[in-house]
Structure 1
């Protein structure tokens, strides 16, 4: 395939090719990604299990999207196509500011109970999945559909939200709790996609939110059915409100939002 510039392809056929290629790579990684890790790591514990998860478990989340981006846009442009060339410091600053309300809420309502093996637990349940899932779900699936295949924001984001919500159904131990998990994580996927777009496709912004929020769940004990907790859901919604306020204010200083007008429904980013 001829290398494309880091802009949406002009023809409808090429845009559909980008969309189908992104969907195919996403489904492949989402389906088989952790199988090699489970086969290799077995009952490993501690740092060896963490290292195996980073390299074997989540390696495909980075390698295959980068390979696809290299084919479509050229090797030098591949990191930019996945938003990896954005500012890590900006991502961290926005993430800390946006999730501070959740940290404050947890500190006031739940005991601080860090796990015994805090480093490995936070690596395996916060840092590594936060990075890997955002690259796969936001940078590849949503990003390629919205940014390059020129789907509208809502169609592209809702496809990712459906997959993301389904991947978290296990977090509910009853049908009602599973549905709440699906809705809340699906909503989070839409918000993370919006943050990714509005921060000019800087994947480190949603990564920071994802990692920090996951980490808080590991450091505080809320209850056995966290997704049924009105307080927990209220804190999630508070994070959304704060992140929207911060992002809209920043967009005004940059000259306007990316997702506006027809870009909500079709035609790709407006800026």
Structure 2
């Protein structure tokens, strides 16, 4: 693909699009064509997704700016590949399709719906190191991240823009401050990352309580569903 475009970032996006053809076809086969965007969570508020993600990732930007140096040599390709492509397509495929469709349209509960996509998501990042201990850390952090993104997707009424912008902004902070060359990072970077994770969980729970809504992931939806999620 790079040979045709001579642009690494654009080639990466085109590769994601081609790879996603089976996902798009599968989504179309599950429901009506008019439900395509709804089934992937793309019909929800983009502004709400961005605002929530921006608030939650503030600890990373504030903390990283105080500890790490700004990367003045960051290239557009790095943003297109590590931020735009990774955030949009990985959330669309792993959370919107691999997790969202089973959880919303079958009897599978949260754990059974999220497990395959989270495992695959974790394994997908193992190219980042050759050290066994570091690989274990990379797998765990991305595996648990996959579960978190799926959870927040479900709790925000299947608004895929929530995990998309969370993923994008978290990756962007990692890139512009040259935090680490892999997803694991170090002690200081993870302190601020876990503050962001804490904000994601706390603000989501507060949002549900304030609006009188029950958590979508609960004891009745954890393993198997009595009724399909039809949000």
| TM-score of the pair, normalised by structure 1 | 0.78
Q: Per-residue deviation at 1:228?
A: 5.0
Match of 2:146 among 171, 189, 212: 189
Match of 2:135 among 161, 178, 184: 178
Work out the CA distance in 2 between the residues paired with 1:129 and 1:223.
16
Partner of 2:210: 253
Q: Per-residue deviation at 1:51?
A: 2.3
C-alpha spacing 1:126/1:116, structure 2 compared with 1 (3 Å): closer
Q: Which moved more, 1:217-226 or 1:67-76?
A: 217-226
Work out the CA distance in 2 between the residues paired with 1:152 and 1:43.
43
> What does 1:1-271 align with in structure 2 at a 5 Å threshold?
40-42=1-3, 48-55=7-14, 57-60=15-18, 62-117=20-75, 119-223=76-180, 227=184, 229-256=186-213, 257-267=215-225, 269=229
How many pairs does the alignment contain? 228
Q: CA RMSD in A?
A: 2.1
Q: Per-residue deviation at 1:120?
A: 2.8
Larger radius of gyration: 1
C-alpha spacing 1:270/1:85, structure 2 compared with 1 (3 Å): closer
SS at match of 2:216: coil
Work out the CA distance in 2 between the residues paired with 1:53 and 1:158.
26
Q: Per-residue deviation at 1:123?
A: 1.2
Q: Per-residue deviation at 1:238?
A: 1.3
Work out the CA distance in 2 between the residues paired with 1:51 and 1:184.
28
Q: Per-residue deviation at 1:53?
A: 2.1
Work out the CA distance in 1 between the residues paired with 2:116 and 2:94.
10
Instruction: Structure 1: give runs of 5+ residues left out of the alignment.
Output: 1-39
C-alpha spacing 1:93/1:134, structure 2 compared with 1 (3 Å): same
Does the aligned pair in 2 maintain the 1:127–1:211 contact within 8 Å?
Answer: yes
Q: Per-residue deviation at 1:116?
A: 4.4
Partner of 1:16: none
C-alpha spacing 1:230/1:43, structure 2 compared with 1 (3 Å): farther
Does the aligned pair in 2 maintain the 1:153–1:264 contact within 8 Å?
Answer: yes
Indicate the structure whose relative CO is greater, using CA pairs within 8 Å and at least 6 residues apart: 2
Q: Per-residue deviation at 1:260?
A: 1.8
Instruction: Structure 2: give runs of 5+ residues left out of the alignment.
Output: none
